[in-house]
Amino acid sequence: MAQQRGYFGLGVEGLSKPMNAGSLMRTAHSFGASFTFAVSPFVDMRGIRHADTSRTADQVPYYQWDTPGDIVLPKGCALVGVELVEQSIMLPSFRHPERAAYVLGPERGSLSQAMIDRCEFVVRIPIAFCVNVGIAGAIVLYDRMISRGRYAERPVKAGGPDMELPPHIHGAQVFRTKRVAKKSPFAKPK
C-alpha cells in the first residue's frame, strides 16, 4: 500500500445489519484506517465479528456515539458524509482532506439531517442508485487511496504504466533558524 500523509477513519450512522457493519469495518482496516466508529447503531456492534475476520476492533480504535452531536474527532479532522443528496460533491471531483472521518448512512435510509449538518463535506458516488454500505465504503476509500497515494501515472494506452515511479528523493535537512555556535571556554585551541 502506498504511503499517504494524514489519517482517516470510517464509520456509520444508524446501521441495522451486523454483517454489513463487519464488512465495512474490515474494509476500513484493509485500507489502513486509523479508527472506526458508529453513531446510534441499531445493532449490537459485538456481532460484527462474523464478517470482520480481521478483527478490526482489536487492531484499531473503535468509537461509538449516541447522536451526531456527540461525535468527538481529533482537531483538524473533517467529517465527510457519503450520501446521495443533491448538494453532494461528486466523488471523482472531490479532494480528500488530509485528516478525515467518513460516515455512511444506514442500509435502508439516509444520513440524518443532523449528521449532514454536522459534516464539513458531503460526497456522492456517481451511481444511479444506492449500493450496499460495505461496497460504498470500499469505493470511497479506494478513491482516497488512488487520489492521495503516490502511484505511477496511468498510461495513455490501455494497460499498466510504461515506467516505474521514480523513488522519492529526500532533500537536505532544513533548519528553520540559524544558530551561531558559541565557543566553549573548555574547548582546546586548534
Mean pLDDT to the nearest integer, 67-76: 95
Q: Is the pLDDT of residue 125 over 60?
A: yes
Q: Which residues contact 8 (CB under 8 A, 6 or more apart)?
A: 32, 33, 34, 96, 99, 100, 101, 102, 141, 144
Say which DSSP state 184 is in.
Answer: P
pLDDT of residue 155: 75
Contact predicate 23/107, CB 8 Å: no
- Residue with grid cell 470511497, as numbered in its chain: 140
Angle between helices 133-148 and 18-30 (to 10 degrees): 10
Mean pLDDT to the nearest integer, 99-116: 92
pLDDT of residue 11: 93
Q: Is the pLDDT of residue 190 over 70?
A: no
pLDDT of residue 178: 64
Q: Which residues contact 14 (CB under 8 A, 6 or more apart)?
A: 39, 40, 41, 42, 105, 106, 109, 112
